[in-house]
């Protein structure tokens, strides 16, 4: 929580309401006596007053010359008040004398405050107006001058909110980054042997893998100050503001003594200089130049370490990555099975889990998910449990949450007619049959004809943990993608538009097999990467044609050949398993969702011989 800004004398400034209270008090003191009635007693009309005088009931009378108010005391001790004329007539005054009424005239003296206020008040208003104008101008000037200050969030060293215990898995990353913690804790060990800890460490990895969490864990473990800022915080509409904020950021770190500066999404200011169309003098490049200068302006012995995170290291400026700046890159990859299991346990420890939940199985069924995806999966399962009215998160909730995250939310409002439902069942059965019988395909997990996301049906396979892929694997992947289109052609004799996404996926894989992975015998060991970063400006300004007309034609021919071969292969396999195709489709129409084991059982039942492989 930010403390209140002290005044010039070290005390908190006077609150704004106090000034208004003082002014109100002055007004009450000046004019209150004129508005608050000081008279007490029975209210009489002037005629009634004269009757009381004639009756001899009045003892004393006091006449106010300013307000014409007449107050007095009766013989019986009662008090009264009335209002008379501007001046007593001679007859009335004679009547008072004849009835032995003790009367006198009173002229009240005005309050000295009320006398001075009409003179002083205009001057006070003028002075107050000028003071208000001066403060407003100073506030605007102060806001302009503060534009160049860093927007970094500071976390105190005595309150580490995150440690390595909060980061599940990633033992290799922790081991690499532990050197920074040891240096900040015991720098003398490194000085004795003459070792130098890297000034900057760049955390590289896909989104959601916990790069920011790692940076905060380092600060928590080391027990030092932590300044967190994003790359976009340096950018402003004013020229030079980014460089000023970089200078102010490093000044804050030096005041802390030992500190960690964390710059998230550093690629927003660290892109290659001179690669864009904006020239070399724009605001982003000046900010980068200042960052490079500041990194060269301190030694590691000062106890300042810079951590940065990005998922685009390929677009960073080479000067930023040279030794002496960000001279160490630590890859934070997508979690493996054991790491996913640890992450699920961390996010499930404060949840009420049912007895049938098996996190080990769930970790195996979520390959390719990042830590953020797994956290979202656990939260979605909790939401499904609440919708069911359950007090615990059960296995069915995890299954529904995984289906929602991977395949999209179910579209309850979309209802297929009988013809569309059978066409979708045949289409998905074609994918499912090939996923079961092809030798290099991923294991089949589930098939459904319930509309989810943008799809009318989904065939879901679970990729195994692997890091390299063979040509046979990609060929089976393309063949499986063609299965829905081919199954409809075999059963109905015509095609529809339902295979658009399958064709897009198959064409992309075939193109990369030819252009990038050297899996075409005619093209040979040559690679043309189609994912060029044109927005950097380099290829836009310098590169010409990538391939000749003959090579481009050869690439297209080889891509087309692979697609046609796998389509024909899918046709042969599905024709051989036509009975199994009908059985799976009928089961889908009946149950709408079936698992991989059921598909395998139906395929085996349809085979004439148990030894037939079909692939």
Please provide residue 271's backbone torsions phi and psi, each rounded to the nearest 5 degrees: -70, 160
Dihedral sign for Cα 188, 191, 195, 196, please. positive
For this structure, is 299 an active site residue?
A: no
DSSP code of residue 263: E
pLDDT 10s digits, 216-253:
787 777 777 778 787 776 665 555 566 777 777 787 77
Mean pLDDT for 304-332 is: 83
Domains of the chain, first to last? 33-106 (3.30.720.210), 153-331 (3.40.50.300), 337-406 (1.10.8.60), 418-606 (1.20.58.760)
Chain centre distance of CA 75: 85
Structure confidence at residue 564 as a pLDDT band (50, 70, 90): very high
Is a pLDDT exceeding 80 seen at residue 284? no
Q: Which residues fall within 8 angstroms of residue 48, CB to CB, at 6 or more apart?
A: 82
Of 555, 407, 573, 582, nearest to 475 (Cα)?
573
Chain mean pLDDT for the chain:
77
The catalytic position among 428, 475, 558, 567 is 428
User: In this structure, are residues 438 and 576 in contact, taking their beta carbons and an 8 Å threshold?
Assistant: no
Query: Any idea which of 97-106, 249-258, 294-303, 311-320 has the lowest mean pLDDT?
Result: 294-303
pLDDT at 3: 42
Question: pLDDT, tens digit, for every residue of 421-459?
Answer: 888 899 999 999 999 999 988 888 888 888 876 778 888
> What totals of helices (H) and strands (E) does the chain contain, helices first?
21, 14
**Rounded (10°) angle between helices 549-576 and 500-515:** 130
Q: Which of 114-123, 441-450, 457-466, 581-590 has the lowest mean pLDDT?
A: 114-123
Q: Is the alpha carbon torsion for 32, 36, 40, 44 positive or negative?
A: positive
Q: What is the DSSP secondary-structure string of 158-192? A: T-----GGGS-S-HHHHHHHHHHHHHHH-HHHHHH
């Amino acid at each position: 929580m930010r403390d209140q800004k002290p005044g010039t004398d070290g005390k908190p400034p006077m609150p704004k309401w106090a000034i208004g209270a003082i002014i109100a008090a002055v007004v009450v003191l000046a004019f209150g006596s004129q508005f608050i009635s000081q008279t007490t007693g029975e209210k009489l009309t002037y005629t009634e007053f004269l009757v009381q005088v004639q009756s001899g009931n009045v003892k004393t009378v006091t006449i106010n010359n300013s307000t014409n108010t007449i107050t007095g005391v009766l013989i019986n001790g009662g008090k009264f008040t009335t209002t008379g004329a501007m001046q007593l007539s001679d007859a009335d005054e004679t009547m008072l004398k004849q009835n032995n009424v003790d009367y006198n005239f009173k002229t009240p003296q005005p309050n000295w405050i009320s006398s001075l206020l009409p003179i002083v008040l205009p001057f006070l208003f003028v002075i107050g107006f000028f003071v208000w104008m001066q403060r407003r101008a100073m506030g605007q000037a102060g806001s302009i001058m503060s534009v160049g200050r860093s927007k970094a969030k500071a976390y105190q060293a005595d309150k580490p909110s995150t440690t390595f215990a909060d980061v599940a898995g990633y033992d290799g990353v922790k081991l690499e980054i532990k050197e920074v913690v040891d240096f900040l804790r015991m720098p003398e060990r490194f000085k004795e042997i003459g070792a130098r800890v890297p000034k900057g460490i760049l955390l590289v990895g896909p989104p959601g893998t916990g790069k920011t969490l790692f940076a905060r864990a380092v600060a928590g473990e080391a027990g030092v100050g932590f300044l967190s800022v994003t790359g976009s915080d340096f950018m402003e509409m004013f020229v030079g503001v980014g460089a000023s904020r970089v200078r102010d950021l490093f000044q804050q770190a030096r005041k802390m003594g030992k500190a960690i500066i964390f710059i998230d999404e550093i690629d927003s200011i660290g892109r290659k200089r001179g690669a864009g169309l904006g020239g070399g003098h724009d605001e982003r490049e000046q900010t980068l130049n200042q960052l490079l200068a500041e990194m060269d302006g301190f030694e590691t012995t000062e106890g300042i370490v810079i951590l940065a995170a990005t998922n685009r290291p390929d677009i960073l400026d080479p000067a930023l990555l040279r030794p002496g700046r960000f001279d160490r890159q630590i890859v934070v990859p997508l979690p493996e099975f054991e790491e996913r299991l640890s992450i699920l346990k961390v996010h499930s420890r404060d949840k009420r889990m049912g007895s049938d939940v098996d996190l080990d199985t769930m970790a195996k069924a979520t390959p390719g998910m990042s830590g953020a995806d797994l956290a979202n999966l656990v939260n979605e399962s909790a939401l499904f449990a609440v919708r069911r009215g359950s007090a615990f998160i059960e296995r069915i909730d995890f299954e529904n949450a995984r289906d929602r995250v991977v395949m999209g939310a179910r579209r309850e409002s979309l209802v297929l007619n009988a013809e569309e439902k059978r066409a979708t069942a045949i289409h998905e059965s074609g994918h499912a049959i090939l996923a079961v019988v092809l030798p290099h395909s991923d294991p089949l997990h589930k098939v459904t004809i319930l509309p989810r996301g943008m799809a009318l049906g989904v065939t879901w396979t679970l990729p195994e943990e692997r890091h390299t892929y063979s040509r046979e694997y990609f060929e089976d992947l393309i063949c499986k993608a063609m299965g829905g289109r081919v199954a409809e052609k075999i059963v109905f004799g015509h095609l529809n538009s339902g295979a658009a996404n399958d064709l897009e996926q198959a064409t992309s894989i075939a193109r990369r097999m030819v252009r990038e992975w050297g899996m075409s015998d005619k093209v040979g060991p040559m690679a043309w990467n189609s994912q060029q970063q044109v927005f950097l400006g380099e290829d836009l300004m310098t590169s010409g044609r990538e391939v000749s007309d003959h090579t481009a034609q050869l690439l297209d021919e080889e891509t087309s050949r692979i697609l046609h071969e796998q389509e024909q292969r899918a046709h042969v396999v599905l024709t051989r398993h036509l009975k199994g195709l009908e059985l799976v489709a009928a089961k889908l129409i009946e149950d709408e969702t079936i698992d991989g084991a059921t598909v395998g059982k139906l395929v085996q039942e349809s085979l004439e011989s148990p030894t037939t492989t079909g692939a």
